[in-house]
Amino acid sequence: MIVKSLNASGLRSEHCYTAGFASIAASYVAWAVSEQAESAGVDRADRWGIFVGHWAPTFFALGLALANYERD
């Protein structure tokens, strides 16, 4: 039901795959910026990178679900 409504709203599997790869890049950028900009040290930078890095599997899973839906 969720995949059907996402597809009906115009979201395609390619969009999710692109968002997954972009979130991997954003994870690295968030880590690098946090390490340079904050005085909290590497611990906080690592947490920011991991937090953003957790988005990628979600986007890839949605991409697979949408790809299966588009194929049917």
- The crossing angle, in degrees rounded to 10, of helices 13-37 and 42-53 is 170
This prediction has a pTM of 0.80
Structure tokens at 45: 């930078």
* pLDDT tens sequence across 35-64: 776 666 677 777 777 888 899 999 999 999
**Under a CB-based contact definition with an 8 Å cutoff, are residues 20 and 56 in contact?**
yes
The length of the chain, given as a count of residues: 72
Q: What percent of the chain has pLDDT over 70?
A: 92
